[in-house]
Amino acid sequence: MVTRIETFVICAVFAAMSGFAFNPALANGNKDADKNKAEQKVITVTMALGSDTDKKRRFHPHNLTFQKGKRYRLVIHNPSLDVHEFDSPGLVGAVWSSHVKVLDGYGEGAQVVAIVVGTPAEIEILPGASIEWEFVPVAAGRYEMICDTKDQKGKTHTSQGMTGTILVQ
Ligand SMILES: [Cu+2]
């Protein structure tokens, strides 16, 4: 017959073997880490594809910097009259991607019309629309972003200077 005291001893030995089961400090530490992950503040970064004023085929801004391990909402809008792309296979491969929200406009009054869960391969945005991509960078590096939309002569926007650099630190 196993007494209450013997049961306690058996549990204590098992706890010692498993390392942390009875260590309240470690248990709380794990809980805090999970809580921090879930409640991590989202940092919003905004970028425009082209411009409605100078009509230049550019990313505004054309350099972006992200910190590894932080959660970002990259808001990309297209204020121009052209279709534009945001292509960055390097960045796509360097992040954990939560989702992409597709909006019928930009800013106040814009309605979410779709939510794509997971990783986007390429993002193409029609004039006036925007997207919000939430991700956490997991691999440091320097990545290129380009716009492979073609103009009427078949020349890509990339070849006309619509390129940029993304740095993950
Ligand atoms: Cu473009």
DSSP-assigned letters across all residues of the chain: ---HHHHHHHHHHHHHHHSSTT-HHHHHHHHHHHHHHHTPPEEEEEEEES-SSS----EESSEEEE-TT-EEEEEEE--SSS-EEEB-HHHHHTEEEEEEEEESSSSTT--EEEEEES--S-EEE-TT-EEEEEEEE-S-EEEEEE---B-TTS-BTGGGT-EEEEEE-
CATH of the domain at 57: 2.60.40.420
Model's pTM, two decimal places? 0.77
| pLDDT of res. 61 | 96
Same domain, 35 and 51: no
Note whether residue 96 is domain-resident.
yes
CA–centroid distance, residue 116 to ligand 1 (Å): 22
| pLDDT of res. 52 | 74
Same domain, 51 and 126: yes
Note whether residue 2 is domain-resident.
no
Number of domains in the chain: 2
Note whether residue 133 is domain-resident.
yes
Residue numbers of the domain that contains 52: 41-168
CA–centroid distance, residue 9 to ligand 1 (Å): 69
One digit per residue, the tens of pLDDT, for the chain of length 169 reads: 444 444 333 333 333 333 333 334 444 445 554 455 446 799 999 999 998 776 689 999 999 999 999 999 999 999 999 999 999 999 999 999 999 999 999 999 999 999 999 999 999 999 999 999 999 999 999 999 999 999 999 999 999 999 999 999 9
CA–centroid distance, residue 121 to ligand 1 (Å): 16
The answer to whether the CB of 149 falls within 8 A of the CB of 82 is yes
CA–centroid distance, residue 19 to ligand 1 (Å): 56
CA–centroid distance, residue 153 to ligand 1 (Å): 14
